[in-house]
Amino acid sequence: MSPDLAIVVAAVALPFIAAALTPLFFRVLGEGTGFAGSLVALSSFGLLASQYGDEGTVALEWIPSLDIALRFHVDGWALLFALLACGIGTLIFTYSPAYMHGESGLVRFYAALLAFMGSIVGVALAADLIAIFLFWELTSLCSFVLIGHYTADDSSQYAARMAMLITVGGGLFLLVGLLLLSIVAGDVVGPASAFDLAAMLEQPDAMAAALRDRGLFLPVLGLLAIGAGTKSAQVPLHFWLPNAMAAPTPVSAFLHSATMVKVGVYFIGRVRPMLVGPEWLFLFATLGLTTMTVCAIMAVAATDIKELLAYSTASHLGLMVAGFGFTSVYGAETGVFHLLNHALFKAALFLVAGIVAHEAGTREIDELGGLRHDLPVTAAITAVVALSMAGIPPFNGFYSKELLFEAAVEASHHHDIGLLGWLYPAVAVFGSIFTVLYSLKFLSLFFGERPADLGHVHRPPVTLLIPPAVLALLAAVVSVDPELAVEVIVQSGLEATAVDPHEMHVGIPTSFSPAVGMSAVTIGVGLLAFPAYGRLHDGIRAIPRTVPPIGANWWYDTIVDGLSDEGREFAEYVHNGLLRTYATWTLAATCTLALTGFVAAGAIAPTEFGLEVTLAIGLVLLVAVIGGLAVVTSDSHIAGVLTLSILGFMVAIFYILASAPDLALTQLVVETLVLVIFLLVIEEIPESDEIEVGRSVRDAVLSVGVGATAFVTVLVTTSARPDGPTDIARYYAEQAVPEGGGTNIVNVTLVDFRGFDTLGELAVVALASISILTLIVMRGRGDDGYPAARGNDGSPGEEPPTDDSRSDEPTDTQRDSQAAGGEDE
């Protein structure tokens, strides 16, 4: 059965509409707006759930002329992700009112959260490359607003800017990759569906072959990987995620663990059937396992519970990327299943961290302990989800980790990767040991001794407890009966992401296999090493202190600070308030770009040179240029204005000789008017003489450069002119009488064929005259308190307010001349 367009669009649009209406909700409901959000999320969830089991593409026309449509593709993988977003969204909206109680900026908070949910559902369902990109960047924008929720807090603003820079920057790489993909897709699936990802995924092999033929396979793979890697916080661009923990905890749970950061993973899974191959394995398995290990180590070094969870999130994202990186079916199983498991346990853990921070008043790991007495329900929830995170059987995290081990072992069977065949499993185990360590550490907050200086810990309200409890319950269900989860959703997600999907089975292993051995080593070493956690923690923390460049943050700060300092210096240099500086830079840059463009395009080629003009035209132009020269060399304003007129009138004669009588008439009128206006104004302005030899030489060089560019441009463009009249010119000539009813083609063109252009021109002239009137008359109206000006107005009795900001008043003689000028005009 194919999905229903109206329902799919409604599921995506509903959160956006609700976001727009948030101010209204807030006025009615106040802090209870969160519950309205839950309702919206639940509705979207219901709408999407009604499409469960369907598969197919539906399209809403958007830009038909470019074959861009708002296409939505519904399949198991899309539904898994979209339902997760809506489901966890419902819980987050239920959690938020109690957590955000008494905070300001709640309208913005809820609006951004709702818009984010709409974007994430959009990114999950979109089948059009442009729509994917737009929703993708929308999630980054919402994340920016939400991370920077505490607008008065510098660290929150810093974190928001960092997340924005990294994820939006990565999104631009993605855009280029998508455009390259669409270029190739135009040949394979037809130009009408060049942006249709669903159509491309229907013939993945043909797409891959075409990409390789065009030599675009590696560029596309790399660009998409950068986009996905920045979004999903892969090393070395992982550092924005721990900083993003400046956001309120519901945001961290929703965006920065369960959904937004998984968009990259989701997209990797989406394009996996098309791009999978040895390069894919090498790129994503390496990237994912590196991230998994590095971030797990960093999580052990964390001192703050949210920081620990943030690094752990990046580490688990690495696990999913690595899973999808392995080309065997186990790889896809890892990615899909762990996406679900991680969303369940990590969102719950963040919500638990929020409860701890809210009720105990601190997030420092050292200050917390023995919380089971104060928060018994929370402790039970934590036990389930933390052990799941550690990958301890029979909790659900164990199954997907087991699949990763299997995929890592299998890798060398599918490809000849030499040493890497050993390295991948070894690294997977090594990274997982740290996962066990930090998971146990998080769990130990609830056990052991209660620190003496930990104050009174309140009982959390029930709306804070329900969301993590629901998640923990779901995690427990998956733990007890993983086959159920597989049957319900994971299998259909697998079919969209695996190359050769077959029926998937998971469960507690009953016989020995390499993967079982790896799990045993991981858990065993993890448990044995746990007593040494403190020493490990200190040891890892000491590394970046001694060698700062090893931290990614250090690179970010150095580069961003360096760039903004450079930018400031550069701005002072080119943007110094002097008109001539601006003109110099603009003109020089334009000339350089134009000439470089001509050279790069090979446009400058020796062609036949023609005079094309009669002797008369040549002479007239010569006089015009001489007139221009006289303007430049004139030492008085009067001489300059008069010689400028010579130039103008010569151009009018040129128009006559070039068979353009209308232009000549207009030019003559305009030149006369300009001459009169110049003479009127110049009389009021004193001469200013300036002779600076050094500057003149520099200016002359630039002028010659500009002139040469213009010369070359005219040569290049006139030689590329089509012979004879163009189609459009012939059209205007032929249709002037039948359609316009006039014999003067230029006139008919202006007032008839292109009447709106002329209307625009009239608007410009009208604006110019209004501005001129304002500039001259408003001063005389006396908003500045000059006696002479007031005298003109004939209203001496009124005392206009004095403008204190005017510090540089003209001298008396200047005032007199101004008054005279006002009368003349």
Partner 1 sequence: MTAVVLAAAVGALFALGTFLLLRRDLVRVVWGLAIISQAANVYLLAMGGIAPATADSVPVLAGHGDHVPTTADPLVQALVLTAIVIGFGMTAFALVLSYRVYEEHGTLDVSELGDRER
Please report how close the Cβ of residue 598 comes to partner 1 at its closest, in angstroms: 13
Please report how close the Cβ of residue 822 comes to partner 1 at its closest, in angstroms: 9
65 versus 688: smaller Cβ distance to partner 1: 688
**Alpha-carbon gap, residue 598 to 603, rounded angstroms:** 5
Q: Which stretch binds partner 1 (CB under 8 A): 5-13, 40-48, 298-306, 646-654?
A: 646-654
594-613: contacts with partner 1 (CB under 8 A): 607-613
555-594: contacts with partner 1 (CB under 8 A): 576-580, 583-584, 587
Which of 612, 368, 473 has the alpha carbon at shortest distance from 87? 473
Q: Is 777 helix (H, G, I), strand (E, B) or coil?
A: helix
The Cα-based distances of 794 to 778, 799, 823 in angstroms read 14, 12, 13
Among 66, 218, 528, 733, binds partner 1 (CB under 8 A): 733
Residue type, 74: V
Among 734, 739, 803, 816, binds partner 1 (CB under 8 A): 734
The alpha carbon dihedral of 57, 169, 233, 475 has a sign of negative
Q: Which stretch binds partner 1 (CB under 8 A): 58-66, 193-201, 349-357, 631-639?
A: 631-639
Q: Is 53 helix (H, G, I), strand (E, B) or coil?
A: coil
283-302: contacts with partner 1 (CB under 8 A): none
For 312-353, the DSSP string reads: HHHHHHHHHHHHHHS-SHHHHHHHHHHHHHHHHHHHHHHHHH
Which of 395, 392, 388, 358 has the alpha carbon at shortest distance from 374? 358
Among 125, 276, 474, 736, binds partner 1 (CB under 8 A): 736
Which token pair is 156? 């929150």
Q: How many CB atoms lie within 10 A of CB 226?
A: 21
Q: Strands 56-63, 68-74: parallel, antiparallel or unpaired by DSSP? A: antiparallel
541 versus 779: smaller Cβ distance to partner 1: 779
654-683: contacts with partner 1 (CB under 8 A): 654-663, 666-667, 670, 673-674, 677-678, 681-682
Please report how close the Cβ of residue 563 comes to partner 1 at its closest, in angstroms: 24
Among 425, 749, 782, 790, binds partner 1 (CB under 8 A): 749
Please report how close the Cβ of residue 642 comes to partner 1 at its closest, in angstroms: 12
480 versus 767: smaller Cβ distance to partner 1: 767
Please report how close the Cβ of residue 789 comes to partner 1 at its closest, in angstroms: 10
Which of 270, 351, 298 has the alpha carbon at shortest distance from 98? 351
Please report how close the Cβ of residue 638 comes to partner 1 at its closest, in angstroms: 11
754-813: contacts with partner 1 (CB under 8 A): 754, 757-758, 761, 764-765, 767-769, 771-772, 775-776, 779, 808, 810-811
Please report how close the Cβ of residue 814 comes to partner 1 at its closest, in angstroms: 5
202-231: contacts with partner 1 (CB under 8 A): none
The number of residues that bind partner 1 (CB under 8 A) is 111
Q: Is 668 helix (H, G, I), strand (E, B) or coil?
A: helix
Residue type, 633: T
The Cα-based distances of 295 to 239, 310, 528, 761 in angstroms read 9, 9, 21, 62
560 versus 674: smaller Cβ distance to partner 1: 674
743 interacts with partner 1 by CB under 8 A: yes
Residue type, 436: V
**Alpha-carbon gap, residue 642 to 647, rounded angstroms:** 9
Q: What angle do CA 425, 426, 432 make, to 5 degrees?
A: 90
480-519: contacts with partner 1 (CB under 8 A): none
For 500-566, the DSSP string reads: S----------S--HHHHHHHHHHHHHHHHGGGHHHHHHHHHHHHHH-GGGSHHHHHHHHHHHHHHH
Q: Is 253 within 8 Å of 306 (Cβ atoms)?
A: no
Which of 165, 148, 161 has the alpha carbon at shortest distance from 247? 148
Q: Is 450 within 8 Å of 369 (Cβ atoms)?
A: yes
Q: Is 92 within 8 Å of 350 (Cβ atoms)?
A: no
Q: What angle do CA 423, 324, 255 make, to 5 degrees?
A: 115
Which of 33, 235, 228 has the alpha carbon at shortest distance from 139? 228
712-731: contacts with partner 1 (CB under 8 A): 712-715, 717-719, 721, 724-726, 728-729
For 604, phi then psi, to 5°, come to -85, 95
686-715: contacts with partner 1 (CB under 8 A): 688, 690, 695, 699-700, 702-704, 706-715
**Alpha-carbon gap, residue 559 to 573, rounded angstroms:** 21
305-344: contacts with partner 1 (CB under 8 A): none
